[in-house]
Amino acid sequence: MTAPLFLLAPGALDGVGPGAEVVLTGAEARHAGASMRLETGEAVLVADGAGARARGTVVSAAADEVRVRVEESTPEPAPAPRLVLVQALSKGDRDLMAVQAATELGVDAVVPWEAERSIVRWKGAKADRAHRKWEDTVRAAAKQARRGRVPEVRAAVSGARVAELARTPAHDGGARLVLVLHEAAEQGLSAVSEAELAGASEVLLVVGPEGGVSEAELAAAVDAGARPVLLGPHVLRASTAGPAALAVLQHRLGRW
């Protein structure tokens, strides 16, 4: 079985080479030392969530502190293009299910979308709690998948303002390719060319709620440069459409 992965603070592995020790504290130490009951000599993986990753061995383990001796650095390069899931808020935690699966499948960032037809709404303090829940879900899924990079949970967008994502450049200033999964689209996801994928800094997949993307939202997105695409012959749940599309793109990009 693959060694478990534990997350350190960003930058904690900077300049750390074989023979050096790193220390797990707080929740990560409790998980490793108390819940998993790791013992001296067991193999573990550690990462800072930003691409620095290492393989090591437990030197000592307690409920409040676990010390790990680094044996090999195994950095995880930043992917290009970045894959971003714009996931509509959905009832029954289907949005969280989508985010969890997308993280395991290699998504690089997620954007909560309060679509016009979303039954779930983020208001006031509830919005802050819900955003943290998405972050916790992404973090746990990244650990489960042994990822060295934890996907970013970006600020939420609402209604037709999702179109602004197609108008603005990617976070690194590069181009964005925005694909709206829609059952009435005339072209399939497979129609997106290799050149289009390679020329984008970010590829955004927009997934609507149970009631679908509204006509106004779709029109605004298309006017802003987004492209409707059909994923397949069947209508998928809000929890499965995004992860399914991500799997297709990971294969198209040669990562799988």
Instruction: Please give the backbone phi and psi of residue 83, each rounded to the nearest 5 degrees, phi first.
Output: -105, 125
pLDDT higher than 90, residue 1: no
Query: Which domains, and CATH codes, for the chain?
Result: 5-75 (2.40.240.20), 82-253 (3.40.1280.10)
Which residue type sits at 73? S
Q: Assess whether pLDDT exceeds 90 at residue 63.
A: no
Centre a 10 Å sphere on the Cβ of residue 172 and count the other Cβ atoms it contains. Answer: 10
With cut-offs at 50, 70 and 90, classify the pLDDT of residue 8.
very high
Lowest-confidence range among 15-24, 36-45, 73-82, 166-175?
Answer: 166-175
**3-class secondary structure, 127:** helix
- Compute the average pLDDT of residues 46-74: 94
Beta bridge partners of 56: 44, 70
Three-state secondary structure of 184-253: CCCCEHHHCCHHHHHCCCEEEEEECCCCCCCHHHHHHHHHCCCEEEECCCCCCCHHHHHHHHHHHHHHHC
Split at pLDDT 50, 70, 90, the class of 140 is very high
pLDDT in tens, 10-51: 899 998 999 999 999 999 999 988 888 888 999 999 999 999
The kind and range of the H/E element at 114 are strand 109-114
The predicted pLDDT at position 109 comes to 97
